[in-house]
Amino acid sequence: MATTAQLFEEPFDADEYIERLAWRTPGGGSKGGAEAFDPKRLLEEFENHIEELKQLDEKIQRRVEKLEHQCHREAKEFAHKVQDLQRSNQVAFQHFQELDEHISYVATKVCHLGDQLEGVNTPRQRAVEAQRLMTYFNEFLDGDLRSDVFNNPDKIKEAADIIQKLHLIAQELPFDRFADVKAKIASKYHDLERQLIQEFTAAQRRGEIGRMREVAAVLLHFKGYAHCVDVYIKQCQEGAYLRNDVFEDTSVLCQRVNKQVGDVFSSPETVMAKLIQNIFENKLQAHVKEKLDETRHSDVEQYLKNLYDLYTRTTALATRLTEFNLGSDKHTFLSKLIKSIFSTYLESYIDMERDYLRNRGAVILQRYYDSKNHHKRPIGTGSIQELKERIRQRTNLPLGPSIDTHGETFLSPELVVNLLQETRHAFERCHKLSDPSDLPKNAFSIFLLLVEHLCVDHIDYALEIGLSAIPSADAKNANLYFLDVVQQANSIFHLFDKQFNDQLMPLISSSPKLAECLHKKKEVIEQMEVKLDTGIDRTLNCMVGQMKHILATEQKKTDFRPEDENNVMIQYTTACSKVCAYVSRQVEHVRKSMDGKNVDTVLTELGVRFHRLIHEHLQQYSYSSMGGMLAICDVAEYRRCAKDFRVPLVLQLFDTLHALCNLLVVAPDNLKQVCSGEQLTNLDRNLLHAFVQLRADYRSARLGRHFS
């Protein structure tokens, strides 16, 4: 095959190239089988092809050398050309600098010449203008306005410019000599001013922004420009307040006018500020006065709601208006407008808020007690009451007659929600309507009213009633409702605490009133905790008293010294069964009434008293061998009941008591060993001896010798 450079273009595969060469050589491929294969012919073809490749390589090498030589030559020529261009560019740059210097010189001369021409032309123009004004002044002096500019309505703009200048000149003339002409000029001045305002008003009604802009520009130098702005503001508001929502109407009006004043007036921010001031001092002030005055003395609740709503909507409107250009200090400007409307109402706000909350709280409380047909008992606050409280705290004695509340806690979630709702609204109004410097003080006064109504008049009163309703410790079949009071008081105080953190804290967090609020809250908590602790303590005494009553009535001496030692069929005594059932109910009651660590605290105290009662109760009897086994069974049941407490200390106490009861049945010879056991080794020897003395065989078996 012919050997050319195209055969070696990428992608090139040497193996494929050799195969193709062998295949095309007669006798060199697999065509015709092994007999047709001619290695000599194939070798000859390979040698010839290698020669062709050598020749092709030499040819290509010569061509490469030729191209390299040509490339070097062209590179030198290009370098020479670039050097020539650089020299030409340098020359052109020098010429450009010279031309720039020449242009600057000519421009300086031209400016100097222009200044000279202006210096000559300005006095000339002033002289021409003065001559023209003198001509018009002579017409006023003669009383005959002949010039077309004063008689042609289409030239009112030019006439206005002339009369405005003549009016300024007339101000400087002596009155005695030029009184008549000054009066004529002033008359024409006011006449043109009136015509211009009429023209502006007509253009505004037609919606011709261009004509309004022209007339406003002319009137800008007249004294009546302010009147023109007033007319514009008045006409803008015509038909703008057709809905009942004056705030939304104002916002829409200002949005529309803001686009227009920039096209009409040279100082749109002044016009816009004057429009807003006019709206605030007329429309909004009248609306606020109407809404508030009609309820101020007849419905205080509605008055406070209206005041909050109106003030909130007014400040929201002012916030929207800040997006307009009203001058450099628009925030202060809008604040003053708001203050001018609401200042008289805000001065007396907090007094009305407090009076309303005080009366409203009293009504809510009275309505609740009336619904319960309950006449609120007076809670004494004098020295006698304080003395009783101290005696009750120290001795736990129920001073005064116990009353029957029939299970009523005198705590109402609905009442609490109503009080907290009213206070929440009050805090919201206080935040919005109070001066920042008075906000902490006002919020604190609202908080004190909440404490008075919720904590003192409701929770504290319910605790006092609950304490009075707790029966004495020796009462039989007493109904214990104080834990229900505790449960509801805790729930209510959680709501109170949530409002304290969510509503009050943000208002006072950075003021000295924070310390006062926290101190007051702590004081209220401590007062309630004292009464809660007292009530819980007396309730636990009642529980223990009820257990003591069950044991006294149900436990018989023959339980632990049965007549027939071999015929005892019960697992534990009836007294034990009833006490455990009663304790289980009370434990469940405590769990429902308490939360958090209070559950463990109260159950620990109840468990300790329960253990003490059983311990003392068991020491009242004498035990036979079978009776001791039954006592162990009773204590085992008491211990099972103690597991419901989920208090390790209580379970440990009953484990120890169970171990003590083993002393009632252990063989005399093993008594000393048992007393040295793990659970009893740390107990007082007198206590162990006291338990051993309860055995019926104490004297006969001479058990006292083990403790001598």
Q: Which long-range contacts (CB under 8 A, 24 or more apart) does 589-594 make?
A: 589/480, 589/483, 590/483, 592/483, 592/487, 593/483, 593/484, 593/486, 593/487, 594/483, 594/486, 594/487, 594/490
204 shares its domain with 251: yes
pLDDT for 310? 93
pLDDT of the residue at 126: 60
Residues 383, 433, single domain; the answer is yes
Domain C-terminal end among 300, 318, 336: 318
**pLDDT, tens digit, for every residue of 81-122?**
999 899 899 998 998 998 988 888 888 888 877 777 776 656
Do 158 and 304 lie in one domain? The reply is yes
Rounded-to-integer distance, Cα 132 and Cα 138, Å: 10
Tokens for 391?
Answer: 């005696």
- Please check whether residues 298 and 178 belong to one and the same domain: yes
Would you state the pLDDT for residue 210? Answer: 83
Provide the pLDDT for residue 384: 47
Inform me whether the pLDDT recorded for 430 exceeds 80.
yes
Domain assignment present for residue 291? The answer is yes
Q: Residue 555 is encoded by which pair of tokens?
A: 């436990």
Mean pLDDT of 51-59: 87
pLDDT of 310-338, one tens digit each?
A: 999 999 999 988 888 887 788 888 999 99
633 lies in a domain? yes
Q: Which domain holds residue 487?
A: 376-391+406-548
Inside any domain, residue 5:
no
Q: Mark whether 533 and 483 lie in a shared domain.
A: yes
Q: How confident is the model at residue 547 (pLDDT cuts 50, 70, 90)?
A: very high
Structural domain contains residue 32: no
- What CA–CA distance (Å, rounded) separates 535 from 540? 9
Q: How many C-beta atoms surround the C-beta of residue 272 within 10 A? A: 24
Q: Are 504 and 653 members of one domain?
A: no
The confidence band for 179, taking pLDDT boundaries of 50, 70 and 90, is low
Q: How many CA atoms lie within 13 A of 268 on its CB side?
A: 12
Q: What confidence category does residue 382 fall into, taking pLDDT thresholds of 50, 70 and 90?
A: very low
- Residue 522 resides in a domain: yes
Quick one: pLDDT at residue 389?
47
Better pLDDT: 642 or 681 = 642
- Looking at the fold, whether 176 and 241 belong to one and the same domain comes out as yes
Of 71 and 217, more confident: 71
Q: What is the pLDDT of residues 512-544, one digit of tens each?
A: 899 999 999 999 999 999 999 999 999 999 999
Do residue 53 and residue 69 come from a single domain?
yes
Residues 238 and 97 in one domain: no
Q: Which pLDDT score, from 0 to 100, does residue 383 have?
A: 44
Question: Backbone phi, then psi, for 695, in 5-degree steps?
Answer: -70, 140
Calpha distance 689→681 (Å, rounded): 13
On the question of a cis peptide bond just before residue 11, with omega within 30 degrees of 0, the verdict is: yes
What is d(CA 638, CA 645) in angstroms, rounded to the nearest whole number?
A: 11
pLDDT of 541: 92
pLDDT, mean of residues 13-31: 71
Percent of the chain residues past pLDDT 90, beyond the cut: 33
The counts of H helices and E strands in the chain are 26, 0
For position 666, which CATH number holds? 1.20.58
| Residue 370 maps to a domain | no
Q: What is the pLDDT of residue 707?
A: 75
**Cα pseudo-dihedral 164, 169, 170, 174, rounded to 10:** 170
| SS3 category, 241 | coil
Over residues 284-292, the mean pLDDT reads: 90
Q: Which residues contact 140 (CB under 8 A, 6 or more apart)?
A: 166, 181, 184, 185, 188
- Arithmetic mean of pLDDT over the chain: 82
What's the token pair of residue 252? 């829409």
pLDDT for 371 beyond 70: yes
pLDDT of amino acid 20: 77
Type of residue numbered 563: E
Please say which residue of 318, 334, 349 terminates a domain. 318
> In this structure, are 153 and 137 located in the same domain?
no
Sequence-distant (≥ 6) Cβ neighbours of residue 679 within 8 angstroms: 655, 656, 659
Contact, 419 vs 453, CB < 8 A?
yes
State the average pLDDT over residues 350-361. 94
* Alpha carbon distance 575, 556 (integer Å): 9
Residue 648 has pLDDT above 90, yes or no: yes
Q: How many whole angstroms separate alpha carbon 663 and alpha carbon 667?
A: 9
Q: How does pLDDT run across 124-155, given as a tens digit for each residue?
A: 656 555 555 555 555 555 555 655 555 555 55
Confidence band for 158, pLDDT divided at 50, 70 and 90: low
Answer with the one of 303, 318, 333 that is the final residue of a domain: 318
Same domain, 312 and 454: no
| CA-wise closest residue to 470 among 400, 529, 413 | 400
**Is residue 280, in this structure, part of any structural domain at all?**
yes
3-state DSSP: the chain helix, strand, coil percent, rounded to 5?
Answer: 75, 0, 25
Q: Is 119 exposed, middle or buried (0-12, 13-18, 19+ CB in 10 A)?
A: exposed
Q: Which amino acid is at 260?
A: Q
pTM for this model (two decimals): 0.69
Are the C-beta atoms of 662 and 632 separated by less than 8 Å? yes
Q: What is the pLDDT of residues 234-259, one digit of tens each?
A: 888 887 787 778 888 888 888 888 88
Asked whether residue 492 is domain-assigned, the answer is yes
pLDDT at res. 587:
94
State the pLDDT at residue 305: 93
Q: Which residues make Cβ contacts (< 8 Å) with residue 299, sequence separation at least 6?
A: none
Q: Vertex 492, ends 491 and 498: CA angle to 5°?
A: 95
Sequence-distant contacts of 187-194: CB under 8 A, at least 24 apart: 188/140, 188/145, 188/150, 188/163, 189/163, 189/164, 189/222, 192/156, 192/159, 192/160, 192/163, 193/219, 193/222, 193/223, 193/224, 194/224
The answer on 573 and 538 residing in a single domain is: no
Q: How confident is the model at residue 595 (pLDDT cuts 50, 70, 90)?
A: confident
More confident residue, 433 or 241: 433
Is pLDDT above 70 for 161? no
Domain count, the chain: 4
